[in-house]
């Protein structure tokens, strides 16, 4: 019969494995401009330059290809 210590170690290992899987699933994958409803103009006061996903000068962490700092997409996330 396995000891309680082995059972707890196995349970903790399973929890750690699940955490890694959840973290990997949370990593955003890149999408196309049409999928993100990208446009080259801002949406009111929302623009790529004020989005947490924007990487100056012309990149986005989740949209494929170059984006304009004055652009906007449906994945917009205002910088805190």
What pLDDT was estimated at residue 29? 87
CA–CA separation, 69 vs 74, rounded Å?
15
pLDDT in tens, 27-51: 558 999 999 999 999 999 999 999 9
Average pLDDT over residues 56-62: 97
Q: Which residue has the higher pLDDT, 41 or 22?
A: 41
Asked if residue 17 has pLDDT above 80, the reply is: no
pLDDT tens sequence across 69-78: 999 999 999 9
Measured torsion, CA atoms of residues 26, 67, 41, 51, in degrees rounded to the nearest 10: 40
């Amino acid at each position: 019969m396995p000891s309680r210590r082995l059972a707890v170690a196995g349970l903790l290992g399973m929890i750690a494995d699940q955490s890694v899987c959840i973290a990997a699933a949370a990593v955003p994958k890149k999408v196309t401009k049409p999928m993100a409803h990208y446009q080259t103009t801002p949406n009111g006061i929302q623009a790529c330059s004020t989005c947490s996903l924007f990487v100056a000068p012309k990149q986005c962490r989740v949209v494929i290809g170059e984006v304009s700092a004055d652009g906007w997409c449906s994945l917009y996330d205002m910088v805190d």
